[in-house]
Amino acid sequence: MSNKICTISPSTNKVIFEHPGTSPDEARQLAIAAQDAFKSYKQIPLPERKAIIVKALNLIDADKETLAQELTTQMGRPISYSTKEIDTMRKRAEYLLDIVDDSLKNLPGQPENGFRRFLKKEPVGVAFISTAWNYPYLITINTLVPALLAGNAVLLRPSPQTPLVGERLQSIFTQAGLPPNVFQLIHCGSPDTLDQIVALPQISLVSFTGSTAGGLRLREATARRVVPVNLELGGNDATYVRSDADISYVAAQVVDGAVFNSGQSCCSIERVYVHADVHDVFVTAVQKELESYKLGTPVDPTTNVGPVISPQAVRTINAHITDALSKGAIDATPANPTFTSPPAEGNYVAPRLLVNVSHEMQTMREETFGPVIPVMKVGSDDEAIALMNDSDYGLTASVWTKDIAAGETLIERIEAGTVYINRCDYPSPDLAWVGWKNSGLGCTLGPHAFDAFYKLKSFHIKEAQV
């Protein structure tokens, strides 16, 4: 498979970036340079590393309109939302800056007369970070900032779909004062080449965000090395609407949670379970909500549903819809002129509301990663929870109810890394972003955001004898 990067804009299907790809030998040289840079960078005091990060964030802010336009061109998000990703990225980075001193401080051992013991947190070395295209600034900052603050060197492999994000971040962090070779880029379009790169002995940590299949492949590629592999993978996230929920509010939130970013979020709502008592009124409310959505070109500021990432994504989403309809699902999507007249060029998939769905359908078992809202009627809380847990994935899940106590009892039973009541599709920086089951390994954000980027060293010192 070719290692060449050829980025095609999802809104025009025109090439916007090309790169020959970093060869395994070139990657080896980059890794050696990173290892050398790490030796001096780890000695830089934490306050100086923090100052570099702050300066980089300020430079990003100063250029965020240009960065947002590039983001829209690369991955198709409507321009009205692209600057918000960069704003949210800054908030995450500021949280990480707020907790870094406590996160990296030494840990004392138990007192004992004549001895001194403590644990020191040392950077791991060269961190290889591979990020995804759907929220490239947010996903990258989750790992890049902790890695650099902890004193590591970084080899960043941006997604081939959003390579300019990597290019811009490297330039900005260098301009902010990061020493040479501490932050370098690897462009890689071939899984075979990626397998060889992560096996390089200079790499001390692999952090990957992407598909579950891609994460499993990286684990296999590193299996003969003792190297930590942190994975943020896919989801098939579920939501349950109880009979006492505020239906008009919930319908708006569920549609947004399923359709935002054209459904291309690892934590998008992909399965909707609704109590039979409110099923019909909920479906009607969702239909009304969808009538106000606009599918269109992402450069139009009034668009709120843009293209999906590729022709292959179009085929996968449509295959899931076709499979559901062939097995008894009913298309309940309301009339919306923008859904039936998308732009002539680009990878457009209109939001679809499906009812009468079941777990025999692909869209209820697999990650559709598109603007599809499958709704399944349930008769009780117990049935809903059993169906929500009947999945190989476990990233997020949500329950909608006016009875918060009952809701808390239910979310305790859900097998997912993040659970919500009356909210969805929101990674909070102060909580761990963690996948259960096939949705991940390790975590980012929250009080343990730095854990992957340091190793512990125990100091056991017998004090001098008089």
Q: Rounded CA gap, 23 and 4, in Å?
A: 10
Query: Are residues 441 and 231 in contact, defined by beta-carbon separation less than 8 angstroms?
Result: yes
- Secondary structure element (H or E) that encloses residue 115, with its range: strand 115-123
Query: Are residues 189 and 212 in contact, defined by beta-carbon separation less than 8 angstroms?
Result: no
Which CA distances in Å does 308 have to 36, 156, 342, 458?
A: 41, 24, 12, 49
Q: Rounded CA gap, 237 and 247, in Å?
A: 20
Instruction: Identify the CA nearest to 22 among candidates 1, 7, 3.
Output: 3
How, if at all, do strands 418-421 and 440-441 pair? unpaired
Sign of CA dihedral 28, 33, 36, 42: negative
Residue 91 makes CB contacts below 8 A (sequence gap 6+) with 429
Sign of CA dihedral 416, 419, 424, 428: negative
Q: Rounded CA gap, 131 and 147, in Å?
A: 14
215, amino acid identity: G
What are the CB-based long-range contacts (under 8 Å, 24+) for 81-87?
81/260, 81/261, 81/304, 85/135, 85/137, 85/138, 86/60, 86/61, 86/137
Q: Determine which one of 232, 270, 366, 367 is catalytic.
A: 232
* Cα 220 to the center of its chain, rounded Å: 22
Q: Rounded CA gap, 466 and 450, in Å?
A: 41
Q: Rounded CA gap, 347 and 77, in Å?
A: 12
Identify the DSSP state of 305. Answer: B
Q: What does 311-335 look like in DSSP terms, one character per residue? A: HHHHHHHHHHHHHHHHTT-EE-PPP
End-to-end CA distance of the chain: 69
**162: which 2 tokens?**
């959003």
Sign of CA dihedral 145, 148, 152, 157: positive
Known catalytic membership, residue 70: no
Q: Rounded CA gap, 296 and 370, in Å?
A: 15
**344: which 2 tokens?**
């002539």
Positions marked active-site: 232
